A and B are shown apart, each in its own frame.
Chain A
Amino acid sequence: MKKSLHKVLALVLAGAMLVGMTACGAEKTAQPETTGTKTEETAPAQEATETAEEQTAVAGMDGWTKFDSQVTLKIPVYDRGGSSNGVADVVNNDWTAWVQEQFGDAWNVKVEYVPITRSDVLTTYALLAADQNLPTICAEYDYPKMTQWINDGYLVPYDMEQFKTVAPTYYQRMVDSGLVGMTQVGGEDYLAFGTRAYGFSTYSWATFYRLDWVKAAGYDKFPEKLSDQIECFKKIKELGLCEYPLGGTRVTGAGVDQNHAYRDYPQDEVLWATTGDYGIPALSTEAQKRELKVINEEYNLGLIDPEFYLKETADAQADFINGKSFQWGTYLSSTISTLESFYAENPNGEVGLMVCPGYVTDDAYHWSTAYRAGLNLGAYVGFSSMASEEEKLAAMMYLEWLAQPETLFTFQWGVEGKNFEYVDGDPVAISTEGMGHNSNVDYWMLVEAIKSIGDIKKDCAAISPQNLPVDFTEDIIANYNGQLDVYNKGFANVDCYFSTAIEAEAEYAPVLYSKYEEYRNQLTMCPVEEFDALYDELSQKYLKDGYQAVIDGRKAAFDAGQGTHLK
């Protein structure tokens, strides 16, 4: 009886599966109908192309005509869950109403903002794509995400000639920032770019250090050369000011242990293209060996906390505040609570800001002040494959409208008297009330990544931390100028960008992050005399773990002309 029951059960389950499969099949056989719908959509699309041609007779906004029937434009906006500043609802607030009034109503476009969960961008886009409901514009700060979306069919190429005519201001910004050559992926124009002021430098990042300890060790400021820096740390330790001046944290993920300071210059182009990226740590290269050897030496000198591999970023922050480490790095803003906490806990403590001294070398460690330069590139912008020609046209118009100086200024600075006021002819922020995250950046990121007055001194002053005993503005400017010197001398290079997705990167990156952390810890903590042999051994393992496949993939793409060249 039981056996027959099981048989019946198996049959029922098999039947259910069959029904399910038939249902799936039915969806597929319904394809002609779908195609029919698409065919029906072709007519308006053709009309839209004609409308586009009409509209592009004169370049820029003067050549635009109002859409005959309302077009819906979907624009992504990050939802960060910030309830501060009165812009908690990112898709429905005074600013979105302002856009509709200024842009939407003027051109018969209904602007709908689509919230994108900031902490889970890929999933949010995947769900929208599955529902055939992608925003007209898809935008992100990361290039790999864009290439993935292109591979997944989310994005379509656009007509560059049309773009130049509909959005000349936006296009010119791309030209001025040297980004036009990067729009193509697989030979077609897929990407447009928001720009980033001073993109070559890392001026908005600063490392703060204990100036009082440096003085106690006999220096007037933080030494420029690596040899002197290590000597300084040793003295600080000898004086008992700090047990482990260099502190240390767990090292994991993308962007760790950048080895630009230890590379040979001018760089070998193939080595640069295959191993010189930000994404995957370059264990097995000579530059990485030099860097890790220095870290190993510092560890064996007792400058690094023996339990560094257990510490997170927040621990390093707390250690700096509590006088247990020498330095701490952060992005700059007018409010830095860590520094406020530092001065509260150490009323007599002195903090300095590490300034790039320009191009300086230290032959003892094969070291220099070379660094990784960025592009003048903000957000990557693409057009949805699910958008009609009219919607794509409206998207280009939106980008152009957004790029108008007066639009951008209002979006970034808000209302005069309420959010800013003019001091000596320059706007100065006085209140963020009613402004979204970082002065509405999530709305205007499609055009610009950071708010810039256009003068580096004023821009540095704007990000200098306030309400502290020390004004760091001059140091921030000096740091920028030091980096500019390194950049102008050719020792700050931009990474190689590939116009195709390197599959091995996506496949092996998670494993390599994990392996790098493991191997790096071993290399940091091994005795100095064993370092070379261990580095060679672990390099071979790392290559077998997938790094060789990544190098080969990049080499093939570079040889095929799908990568940028070293400048």
Chain B
Amino acid sequence: MAKRNKDVALDAESSRDGNRAIVKFRVSDFLMMFFITILSLTCILPFIHIAAKSISSNNKVVAKLVYFIPKEITLEAYRSIFADAGLTRSMGFSVLVTLAFTALGMFVCICGAYPLSRARLRGRKWLTFLLMVPMYFGAGLIPTYLLYSSYKMLDTVHVLILPLVYSAYNLLIMRTFFMSSIPDSLEESAFLDGASNIQILLKIVLPLSKPILATISLFYAVGRWNSYSDNMYFIRSENLKMVQYKLYQMVASAAEAQTASMSDAAAVTSTPEVLQAASVMFITIPIILIYPFLQKYFVKGTMVGAVKG
């Protein structure tokens, strides 16, 4: 009888799939949902705003009459973008650089994190400490520029890939994940079966670490995709400019056009706001499309990687 009463009590708070929170809606749940909704809107609304602007007429946008609903819908800005061979070419180049950077970054990160996560590595605390130093100290722009110059890396694709492939932050997360998720006993049993270090890494550790691999890959890819300052300072050739830097130049030159003299018969060459918005969409959409496929790993990976080892 007592058992039956307990079951009834459970039923009262649980849905069929066992989720209690859905059936009994508490004030705290409401508050959490409210704040999460507000937080989500702060991310989504600017995106909708830009999307609406990108397909509205320039007149309406300049007059600041477009908020979340497009007005006088036109796809002219997108046509201009696709007609501009320079921008589409830069997009392709950015994708290639991002892929190469992510692949190389993951290789470096795995090769660094795995040994550092193993207790049998002598002096691993020292090594970890040394590898963490760049996380806190940087040389500054001019010394960095001179360093790249002495390595003949300026104005080459290498300067967009090599300097940032080592990331102390990513290494730390991955090392922590390996330490907390891959027990030494598993490794020892593999050793007993005759596996080498490389085999253990490739056949045991990495297959068990999909969440963190996806998470760090996303960190690398998004980081590379969004940054443009290295383009600005270290790249001069037009064909090596990534699409994000082109967007930055577009916005910066439009801002400058509002203050600089345009006393000339030629048309003003500042980029209309609509075209800027369309360019933002054009550049943002690829990374947004990738995100849903990695999201399930992403959440899990960050949570696990964040546990102190």
Contacts and interface: CB of A to CB of B under 8 A. Distances in A.
B250 A81 contact: yes
A313 interface: yes
Nearest to A414: B266
B266 A435 contact: yes
A439 B253 contact: no
A438 B272 contact: no
Interface in A318-359: 318, 321-322, 331-338, 340-341, 344-345
B268 A335 contact: yes
* Chain B: number of interface residues, binned into ranges: 35 or more
Interface stretch (B34-42, B138-146, B168-176, B177-185): B138-146
B62 A335 contact: no
Interface in A200-221: 203-205
Interface string A294-336: 0000000000000000000111011001100000000111111
Interface in B58-109: 58-60, 62-65, 84, 86-87
Contacts of B63: 318, 321-322, 341, 345
Given A81-B249, A117-B232, A463 B59 contact: no
A456 B248 CA distance: 37
Interface string A372-392: 000000000000000000000
B252 interface: yes
Given A88-B238, A115-B236, A120-B232, A337 B264 contact: no
B267 A123 contact: no
A486 B246 CA distance: 44
A118 B256 contact: yes
Nearest to B65: A322
Interface residues of A, number: 59
Contacts of A126: 142
B149 interface: yes
Nearest to A128: B145
Given A118-B252, A337-B58, A345-B59, A331 B238 contact: no
Interface in A12-33: none
Contacts of A556: none
B252 A119 contact: yes
Contacts of B62: 317-318, 321, 337-338, 341
B154 to A, nearest CB: 8
A130 interface: yes
Interface in B137-168: 141-142, 145-146, 149, 154
Contact of A439 (B146, B238, B265, B271): B265
Given A88-B238, A115-B236, A338-B62, A438 B141 contact: no
B233 interface: yes
Interface centre among A85, A118, A336, A341 (most CB of B within 10 A): A341
A334 B267 contact: yes
Contacts of A345: 59, 63
A313 B258 contact: yes
A80 interface: yes
Contact of A91 (B149, B238, B272): B238
A205 B262 CA distance: 9
A335 B249 CA distance: 21
A131 interface: yes
Contacts of B248: 81
B44 interface: no
A79 B233 CA distance: 12
A80 B248 CA distance: 10
Given A127-B233, A204-B261, A340-B59, A334 B238 contact: no
A331 B237 CA distance: 31
B260 interface: yes
Contact of A81 (B253, B258, B261): B253
A463 B146 contact: no
Interface centre among B62, B141, B154, B271 (most CB of A within 10 A): B62
A71 interface: no
A124 B252 CA distance: 15
Nearest to B245: A81
B237 to A, nearest CB: 8
A438 B269 contact: yes
B263 A204 contact: yes
A92 B261 contact: no
Interface string A398-430: 000000000000000000000000000000010
Interface string A109-123: 000001101111001
A483 to B, nearest CB: 14
Contacts of A127: 141-142, 145, 233
Nearest to B84: A83
A80 B149 contact: no
A334 B84 contact: no
A441 B237 CA distance: 20
B262 A333 contact: yes
Nearest to A315: B64
Contacts of B65: 322
A341 B250 CA distance: 21
A90 B86 CA distance: 13
A102 interface: no
Contact of A332 (B232, B263, B266): B263
A115 B268 CA distance: 21
B253 A119 contact: yes
Contact of A123 (B58, B141, B264): B141
B6 to A, nearest CB: 53
Given A131-B149, A313-B258, A333 B263 contact: yes
A89 B263 contact: no
B246 A81 contact: yes
A331 B262 contact: yes
A82 interface: yes
Nearest to B253: A80
A555 interface: no
28 contacts: A80-B253, A81-B252, A82-B253, A83-B84, A88-B238, A91-B236, A91-B237, A114-B236, A115-B236, A117-B249, A119-B252, A123-B141, A126-B142, A127-B233, A313-B258, A314-B64, A315-B64, A318-B64, A322-B63, A332-B263, A337-B62, A341-B59, A341-B63, A429-B265, A429-B266, A438-B262, A438-B266, A449-B261
